[in-house]
């Protein structure tokens, strides 16, 4: 038997070299298969994918577009099967419709796009001998949720005047979810989904609150406002207040109405990840992915109950309705504030500090209380960014995924990049965001005080400063840099069964394609970062799930290159020349049937 490549347990694979191939490239000895693609029928009665004659009704029974977050959940009683939940973040019409006229989309195209957004639940089945994973169409748990499905607003701001519309005078019932980026899996068996760049769907606003969220004064690129007035802020001012939440979905109950949790605040939620306090209360971390925006934590006040009965489930689905929402403020405590390539690095004992969680509002059965001067509790939950502004939260370099380690409790905060840092009058580098014009991003490691999830203060340090390891302004938790893979623009993260952090990237600025990397977080190989795969032209790597025998990634927006279209594709993945490019979920496995990275 050949000796496996060196690395921490779980990371013993030969690193994939940076490349620009229009392919999924995996380490030697590994293979992959496409689990499911955009347009594959998953519901009973859904037709086969026919991109030249796509309809909204067909799309509503098929896997959606631009898969992002993935959860792979147990399916007790069905041997070899698991339940896959996927986000469909957004649509890219120019890559979906032949002859798409961006100035004049048709109603048919717009309705297909609505049906291609949202979530999918689909049962998947593993092959006995390999890690190959295939979808099980027409399974009774398979489900689509789209931009027109019914949702319930819950928590403190539900029913408030800010959330009432002409179609919904109760302020509690919303149609659809938009721009679900990353997410999380709860210990009580549901999934969380962050509504991220919801601003891009709403037209014609001149309000300052909307401006803070990036909602434009004119028409939108997709022009949905021509087909449903709720996307026109001038006509339906409060509809936009009903997007930008954390969605909770119960994939085990096909009749459940998914919820939007106002207690977790409204911003561009990249994701939402859960850790429990010692006494069983949920703590949810969530980043607001915008240059110079903040990251947040919600500490619930109700304890999770164990079991699967209906009453237990209903109780657990209310856990995120009561608790306190906090925003992070970070303070450095050493003299250096900028990594400038001079060789001064976090390993010198600098670039670390302390932080506090500043309370914004508390929701309880008795009502909600604001902790922000000049804002009501409803305003804090609906205009959360403005609350963060008022309390002086720390402006970060685009907070993406945040993941607490199930092994150590340490929390990893991914900052993807911020090329505007230090430019003009913008905030300059600080210890927690230590590079001006930050092209490649970095990852912070937070330790909650006494390692308690509910603590209101923490310590932090830099874990990873991304880029070409040859550049002196990079850092890999102190690991020797001649032995690590180059990485740029970290985005989503997940832990493997051994406590290694896996990082997927979006927007590689080093001239090669995006990919997936594993890095040890503890032990003597801490900081050893190794590339595990690369994705095709134009694609971003999303939603990693790392199991013992299998790695799952969402290949999002393959072929999304300026000037590309159905007629002029930049990628022919996954089906080859002459076929439309399709976002898809991929399973990677070791060809000899062994465990990943062992
Ligand atoms: Fe949808 Fe922040 O990535
Ligand atoms: Ca994306
Ligand atoms: Ca993302
Ligand atoms: Ca991103």
* Nearest ligand 1 atom, CA 270: 2
**pLDDT for 2 beyond 80:** no
Look over the chain and give the mean of its residue pLDDT values, rounded to a whole number.
Answer: 96
Q: Which of 230, 262, 260, 226 has the alpha carbon at shortest distance from 166?
A: 230
Give the tens place of pLDDT for each residue, 215-259: 999 999 999 999 999 999 999 999 999 999 999 999 999 999 999
Rounded Cα–Cα distance for residues 71 and 204 (Å): 36
As a whole number, mean pLDDT of residues 47-52 equals 98
Question: What are 245's two structure tokens?
Answer: 């939440």
Ligand 1 within 6 A of CB of 400: yes
The token duo for 354 is 């302390």
Residue by residue, DSSP assigns 141-164 as: T-EEE-TTSEEEEESTTTT-GGG-
Distance 161 CA to ligand 2 centre (A): 32
CA 36 from chain centre, in angstroms, equals 19
- Give the number of the atom of ligand 1 that is nearest the alpha carbon of residue 268: 2
CA of 592 to the centre of ligand 4 (A): 34
CA of 505 to the centre of ligand 3 (A): 8
| CA–CA distance, 174 with 17 (Å, rounded to integer) | 46
Whole-number Å distance, alpha carbon 321 to ligand 4 midpoint, is: 28
Ligand 2 centroid – CA 534 distance (Å): 16
What residues are neighbours of ligand 4 (ion), with CB under 5 Å? 491, 506
pLDDT recorded at residue 256: 96
Q: Say which ligand is closest to the CA of 289.
A: 1
Q: Tell how strand 259-261 and strand 150-154 pair up.
A: parallel
pLDDT band at 340; cut points 50, 70, 90: confident
CB distance 446 to 355 below 8 Å = yes
By three-state DSSP, how is residue 32 classified?
A: strand
181 lines ligand 1 (CB under 6 A): yes
Residue 102 · residue 113 · CB < 8 Å? no
Phi and psi at residue 300, to the nearest 5°:
-75, 155
Contact 491, 544 (CB under 8 A): no
**Is residue 261 scored above 70 in pLDDT?**
yes
Q: In whole angstroms, what is the distance from residue 232 CA to residue 238 CA?
A: 10
Q: pLDDT at position 476, please?
A: 96
Q: How far does the centroid of ligand 3 lie from the alpha carbon of residue 44, in Å?
A: 31
The pLDDT of residue 1 is: 58
| C-alpha distance across the termini of the chain, in Å | 13
Q: Is the CB of 89 under 6 A from ligand 1?
A: yes
Is the minimum distance from the CB of 289 to ligand 1 under 6 angstroms? yes
Beta bridge partners of 83: 73, 123
Question: Domain residues of the chain, as ranges?
Answer: 30-590
In this prediction, residue 346 carries a pLDDT of 80
Q: What ipTM, to 2 d.p.?
A: 0.92
Q: Is the CB of 379 under 6 A from ligand 1?
A: no
pLDDT in tens, 390-428: 999 999 999 999 999 999 999 999 999 999 999 999 999
Judge whether 150 and 257 are in contact, CB under 8 Å: yes
Do the Cβ atoms of 427 and 292 come closer than 8 Å?
A: yes
Beta bridge partners of 299: 283, 324
Q: Residue 410 class from Cβ within 10 Å (0-12 exposed, 13-18 middle, 19+ buried)?
A: buried
Q: Is the pLDDT of residue 200 over 90?
A: yes
Report the separation in Å between the CA atom of 89 and the middle of ligand 2, taken as the mean of its atom positions: 7
- What gap in Å lies between CA 504 and CA 515, rounded to an integer? 6
Instruction: Render pLDDT for 117-171 as a digit per residue (tens, 0 to 9).
Output: 999 999 999 987 778 999 999 999 999 999 999 999 999 999 999 999 999 999 9
Q: Give distance in angstroms: CA of 490 to centre of ligand 4.
A: 8
pLDDT of residue 4: 74
CB proximity list for 314: less than 8 A, separation 6 or greater: none
At 11 the pLDDT is 98
Q: What is the pLDDT of residue 325?
A: 99
Claim: this prediction has a pTM higher than 0.80: yes
Considering every ligand atom shown, identify the ligand nearest to the alpha carbon of residue 180 and give its number. 1
Angle at 30 between CA 34 and CA 525, to 5 degrees: 120
Mind listing the pLDDT tens digit for each residue in 541-574? 999 999 999 999 999 999 999 999 999 999 999 9
Q: Is the CB of 22 under 6 A from ligand 1?
A: no
Atom of ligand 1 nearest to the CA of 398: 2
Peptide bond into 369 cis (omega under 30): no
- Burial label for 174, CB within 10 Å (0-12, 13-18, 19+), is buried
Element (H, E) at 552: strand 551-556
Specify the ligand 1 atom closest to the Cα of 89.
1
Encode pLDDT of 496-511 as tens digits. 999 999 999 999 999 9
User: Which one, of 301, 261, 251, 259, lies nearest residue 277 by Cα?
Assistant: 301
């Amino acid at each position: 038997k050949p000796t496996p490549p060196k690395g921490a347990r779980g990371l013993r694979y030969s690193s994939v070299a940076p490349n620009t191939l229009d392919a999924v490239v995996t380490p030697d000895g590994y293979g992959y298969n496409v689990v499911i693609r955009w347009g594959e029928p998953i519901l009973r009665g859904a037709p086969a994918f026919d991109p030249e004659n796509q309809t909204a009704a067909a799309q509503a029974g098929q896997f959606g577009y631009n898969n992002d977050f993935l959860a792979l959940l147990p399916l007790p009683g069905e041997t070899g099967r698991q339940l896959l939940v996927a986000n469909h973040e957004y649509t890219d019409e120019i890559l979906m419709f032949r002859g798409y006229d961006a100035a004049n989309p048709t109603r048919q195209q717009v309705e297909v796009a609505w049906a291609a957004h949202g979530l999918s639940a689909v049962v998947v089945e593993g092959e006995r001998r390999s890690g190959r994973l295939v979808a099980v169409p027409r399974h009774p748990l398979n489900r689509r949720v789209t931009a027109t499905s019914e949702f319930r607003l819950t928590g403190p701001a539900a029913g408030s005047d800010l959330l009432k519309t002409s179609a919904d005078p109760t302020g509690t019932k919303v149609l659809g979810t938009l721009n679900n980026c990353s997410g999380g899996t709860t210990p009580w068996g549901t999934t969380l989904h962050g509504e991220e760049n919801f601003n891009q769907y709403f037209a014609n606003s001149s309000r300052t609150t909307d401006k803070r969220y990036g909602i434009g004064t004119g028409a939108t690129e997709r022009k949905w406002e021509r087909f449903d007035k709720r996307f026109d802020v001038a006509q339906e001012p409060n509809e936009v207040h009903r997007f930008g939440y954390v969605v909770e979905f119960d994939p085990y109950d096909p009749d459940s109405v998914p919820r939007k949790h106002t207690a977790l605040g409204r911003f561009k939620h990249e994701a939402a990840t859960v850790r429990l306090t010692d006494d069983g209360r949920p703590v949810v971390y969530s980043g607001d992915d915008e240059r110079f925006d903040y990251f947040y934590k919600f500490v619930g006040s109700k304890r999770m109950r164990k079991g699967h009965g209906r009453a237990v489930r209903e109780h657990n689905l209310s856990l995120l309705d009561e608790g306190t929402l906090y925003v992070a403020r970070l303070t450095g405590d050493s003299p250096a504030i900028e990594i400038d390539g001079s060789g001064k690095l976090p390993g010198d004992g600098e670039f670390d500090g302390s932080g506090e969680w500043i309370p914004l509002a508390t929701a309880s059965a008795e009502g909600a209380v604001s902790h922000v001067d000049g804002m009501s509790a409803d305003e804090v939950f609906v205009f959360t960014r403005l609350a963060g502004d008022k309390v002086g939260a720390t402006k970060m370099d685009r907070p993406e995924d945040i993941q607490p380690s199930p092994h150590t409790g340490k929390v990893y905060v991914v900052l993807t990049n911020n090329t505007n840092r230090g430019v003009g009058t913008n905030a300059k580098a600080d210890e927690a965001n230590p590079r001006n014009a930050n092209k490649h991003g970095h990852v912070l490691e937070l330790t909650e005080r006494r390692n308690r999830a509910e603590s209101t203060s923490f310590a932090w340090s830099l874990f990873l400063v991304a880029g070409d390891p040859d550049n002196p302004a990079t850092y890999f938790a102190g690991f020797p840099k001649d032995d690590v893979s180059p990485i740029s623009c970290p985005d989503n993260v997940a832990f493997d069964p051994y406590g290694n952090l896996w990082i997927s990237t979006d927007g590689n600025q080093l001239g090669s394609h995006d990919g997936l990397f594993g890095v040890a977080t503890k032990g003597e190989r801490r900081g050893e970062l190794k590339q595990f795969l690369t994705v095709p032209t134009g694609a971003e790597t999303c939603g990693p799930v790392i199991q013992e025998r299998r790695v799952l990634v969402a290949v999002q927006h393959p072929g999304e290159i300026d000037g590309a279209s159905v007629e002029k594709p930049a990628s022919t993945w996954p089906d080859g020349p002459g076929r439309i490019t399709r976002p898809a979920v991929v399973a990677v496995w070791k060809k000899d049937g062994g465990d990943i990275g062992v």
